[in-house]
Amino acid sequence: MKYIQAALDNKAAATNMLYTYACPDDGVRVGDSVRVPFGSGNRSLAGVVFKVSDSTDIDPSKLKSVAGPAKPLLTEEDVYLCEEMKRRYLCRYTDAVRCFIPPGFRKLQDQLRIAEPGEAEEFLADPKSPRRQRELVEVLLRHGPALKSDLKRIFGIDYSVMAAAEKKGLVCRGTVEKKRRPHTAVLPDPEGFDGLTAEQEAAFREIRKAVQEQQYRGFLIHGVTGSGKTRLYMETVREVLRKGKSAIVLVPEISLTIQAIEKFRGEFDPELVAVLHSRLSEGERFDEWERIRRGEARIVLGARSAVFAPVRDLGVIVVDEEHESSYKADNPPKYDTREMAQVRARYNDAVLLMGSATPSVENYYRSETGELKRLELKKRYNEVRLPRVEVADMRLELQRGNRSVFSISLFRQIRESLEDHRQVILFLNRRGYASFVSCRNCGYVMTCPECGLSLTYHKSERAAVCHYCGRKFRIPPECPECRSRYIKEFGTGTEKIEELTRKLFPEAKVDRLDLDTTRQKGSAERILGAFKAKETDILIGTQLVAKGLDYDNVHLVGILAADISLHIPDHRAPENTFQLITQAGGRAGRGDLQGSVVVQTYSPDHYAVRCAARADYRQFYENEIRIRREMHYPPFGNVIVLTFLHEEEEKAQACGEEFAAILRERFPKLTGEDLLGPRPTHIPKIRGRYRYQVLIKYIDRDTEVFLGELDALRLRFAAEKHRGVSIGIDVNPYSMT
């Protein structure tokens, strides 16, 4: 008899713990799936085994037994990672487990083959044989077994003909597994590689040594845009493959996966490359997952969730553009991909490569302290200088009578780029046509009744859309408040910029890359493919155009509102602004000529804007790290955000107040500056639930103990009088909304 501790697949917050059961199956292993009786009614629940022992401190007569044999599900490494996620992010066990369960399902297809070749030949020799059945037999004799769907699609043979031939015993049916391969339209794009530069060679020597020693080593590759960080990744992957090991390569956006597929399929056997991200169908994800698990694919490309891919013999994890906020999950389990990549790399004695032209302040600090080895690439691979950067003060533009969204300089440079047959990228981090819909007579603003937020106008949909819950509303012909007809849209988004650009530059071919234009499967590939083929002259977009795009004919990048992210209530706002300006500007001049960047802003004197314009990361870092140290922000402390949600505002607020009061009593070191709230969140209501927030800045070393206290207190609240209130805990979030 064995005794197990299992995490149960149950959503109730009060059951987020390990339960002990007796297990008659002596072969049970950590990671196995089991069915167990639960509760007074012995309801059957699925569970995952986290611990196995030969004895227990609990009276065995009081224990229930596992129902049925255990089945393999997770590896010991998977279980270890689940425990780390539970400890670090206070997530539910079941949410952590779901990160490792293969999505989708295996799909079988009907296949036909000749039953007896001799009988088939006799059938063909008989001139009275039905013509269509003869065609079917001839096809199968000539081509071998074939899918029924292919026989219908390629050869035009009806299913009724197949059924008749099967009934006669001429053909017999079987099943084969359908292979669903994503991004088949993305073709390999081999680079003309002439060898590593001196800077790259020096960096690669350090990395290669770590790979050969087969010990964990973490590197931060700080390279200017266009310095060849991807080449270092590929050479490291090549070295890892030589050692018989596998690689995970992470990119921050699904749209960037397309470029990574092109490059890696062009460099390695395409059959070795698998792709994982949330835009794949469940079937595609399942088949890729299985190829990885079986060891057929040894290079995994993907976005955030690919860090959990079931690779064998992991040798390296690459986190490209490691500064990106998209590496932090917004929904439970709210894990940080960079941290989980480090945990996996340590567990497997693998190498961790994190690269960026604008490293996160936290990781740059770790490279200063020696926790990460910093490797620097200060020159572009092709030796072309970084682009010229011009800061356009939009306050002066307004004073000069220019009310356009384009500064005079940006308009002139777009015209010159088009005349020189060079491409242009225009970046605005706000989608939609207009920011809000308002009445000029009384000031009424259209808001979402579920979320209380102003609605964004989308002209293509002729609707005002909530960007949080997705609900759509028609624009009323008159103001609901004062009945005036002066209700219209205000502000600017990428959709409006596209319309204005087409009017101002009618000879140019214009396209847009944002969340609205990439919803349909394959649309991102189409848009980026056209731009790469120089079929598009001007590409307009949100953050999707600011990250990782590498096209040699882009001469000009216009950043239309550089300070959109500067004034939001978030301690990372200056860092986000610096990164966006630098990254977006880095798309220019990656070919044979120096590029140009125009940064349009109403805050030209802010240090984030000034440092980005000069591409001076070090100066920005020194400014930022001083502020972080004074304010106890990461990396000098942890920011922990508690969110209390309920359909009734009073209950959400009351729960937050009681929770905060208990914390102040238990932890007297938390001063008024270290424990703030509860107060309504920046977005106070989403999907009909009010949201109150408590912010904690915790700088003591026993953070793990403190987090354990928070989790225990949350469980107590869930089981007592605040049962209806949902309490979320986010450790070091990348968004304070």
Q: Which two tokens stand for residue 169?
A: 């015993």
Per residue in 285-297, pLDDT tens?
Answer: 888 898 999 999 9
Give the mean model confidence (pLDDT) for residues 463-481: 87
Which of the given ranges, 427-436, 454-463, 599-608, has the highest pLDDT on average? 599-608
pLDDT at 548: 67
Task: Read off φ and ψ for residue 386, nearest 5 degrees.
Answer: -60, 155
pLDDT at residue 246 tops 90:
yes
In angstroms, rounded to a whole number, what is the distance separating the alpha carbons of residues 49 and 20? Answer: 10
Query: Considering only 106-120, 288-302, 372-386, 680-694, which range has the smallest mean pLDDT?
Result: 106-120
**How would CATH label the architecture of 638-731?**
2-Layer Sandwich (3.30)
**How would CATH label the architecture of 198-377?**
3-Layer(aba) Sandwich (3.40)
pLDDT at 193: 67
Which of the given ranges, 345-349, 473-477, 685-689, has the highest pLDDT on average? 345-349
3-class secondary-structure state, position 98 = helix
pLDDT at 380: 82
Kindly indicate the confidence band of residue 462, based on its pLDDT and cuts at 50, 70 and 90.
confident
Kindly indicate the confidence band of residue 2, based on its pLDDT and cuts at 50, 70 and 90.
very high
Per residue in 602-620, pLDDT tens?
Answer: 999 999 999 999 999 999 9
Asked if residue 425 lies in contact with residue 545, where contact means CB atoms within 8 angstroms, the answer is: yes
Give the mean model confidence (pLDDT) for residues 45-63: 93
Per residue in 381-401, pLDDT tens?
Answer: 877 788 899 999 999 998 999
pLDDT at 305: 92
pLDDT at residue 144 tops 80:
yes
pLDDT at 703: 83
Q: For residue 198, what are the contacts with CB-CB under 8 A and spacing of at least 6?
A: none
Domain boundaries, the chain: 2-98, 108-177, 198-377, 388-431+493-627, 433-492, 638-731
Give the mean model confidence (pLDDT) for residues 221-249: 94
In angstroms, rounded to a whole number, what is the distance separating the alpha carbons of residues 436 and 433? Answer: 9
**Computed from CA positions of residues 577, 580, 586, 588, in that sequence, does the dihedral angle turn out positive or negative?**
negative
Alpha-carbon separation of residue 129 from 115, 134, 471 (angstroms): 17, 7, 61
pLDDT at residue 182 tops 70:
no
Per residue in 665-680, pLDDT tens?
Answer: 998 888 777 898 899 8
Quote the mean pLDDT of the chain: 89
More confident residue, 183 or 734: 734
Confirm or reject CATH 3.40.1440.60 for domain 2-98, answering yes or no: yes
pLDDT at residue 145 tops 80:
yes
Give the mean model confidence (pLDDT) for residues 712-724: 83
Residue type, position 166, single letter: E
More confident residue, 417 or 519: 417
Q: Which two tokens stand for residue 16?
A: 């987020």
* Torsion of the alpha carbons at 518, 554, 384 and 600, rounded to the nearest 10: -90
pLDDT at 264: 87
In angstroms, rounded to a whole number, what is the distance separating the alpha carbons of residues 677 and 664? Answer: 11
pLDDT at 550: 78
Alpha-carbon separation of residue 116 from 161, 165, 172 (angstroms): 18, 12, 9
Which of the given ranges, 54-68, 364-378, 468-482, 549-563, has the highest pLDDT on average? 364-378
Residue whose pair of structure tokens reads 């070393």 in the numeric block: 701
- Tell me the residue ranges of DSSP E strands in 303-450: 314-320, 351-356, 373-377, 388-393, 423-427, 436-439
Asked if residue 510 lies in contact with residue 482, where contact means CB atoms within 8 angstroms, the answer is: no
Kindly indicate the confidence band of residue 730, based on its pLDDT and cuts at 50, 70 and 90.
very high
pLDDT at residue 189 tops 60:
no
Superfamily grouping for domain 388-431+493-627: P-loop containing nucleotide triphosphate hydrolases (3.40.50.300)
Query: Considering only 354-363, 550-559, 641-650, 693-702, which range has the smallest mean pLDDT?
Result: 693-702
Equal CATH topology for 198-377 and 388-431+493-627: yes
Q: Is 214 exposed, middle or buried (0-12, 13-18, 19+ CB in 10 A)?
A: middle
Query: Considering only 37-51, 109-123, 133-147, 515-529, which range has the smallest mean pLDDT?
Result: 515-529
* Torsion of the alpha carbons at 129, 135, 140 and 141, rounded to the nearest 10: 70
Task: Tell me the three-class secondary structure of 596-648, residue by residue.
Answer: EEEEEECCCCCHHHHHHHCCCHHHHHHHHHHHHHHHCCCCCCEEEEEEEEECC
In angstroms, rounded to a whole number, what is the distance separating the alpha carbons of residues 687 and 249? Answer: 35
Task: Read off φ and ψ for residue 515, nearest 5 degrees.
Answer: -60, -30
pLDDT at 192: 59
Q: What percent of the chain has pLDDT over 90?
A: 55
Task: Read off φ and ψ for residue 175, nearest 5 degrees.
Answer: -125, 145
Q: For residue 145, what are the contacts with CB-CB under 8 A and spacing of at least 6?
A: 111, 112, 113, 174
Nearest to 64 by CA among 102, 24, 93, 32: 24
Residue type, position 543, single letter: Q
Give the mean model confidence (pLDDT) for residues 645-657: 93
- Tell me the residue ranges of DSSP E strands in 372-434: 373-377, 388-393, 423-427
pTM of the model: 0.82
Spell 350-384 as b/e; 16+ CB within 10 A means b.
Answer: bbbbbbbbbbbbbbbbbbeeeebbbbebebbbeeb
Kindly indicate the confidence band of residue 47, based on its pLDDT and cuts at 50, 70 and 90.
very high
More confident residue, 89 or 14: 89
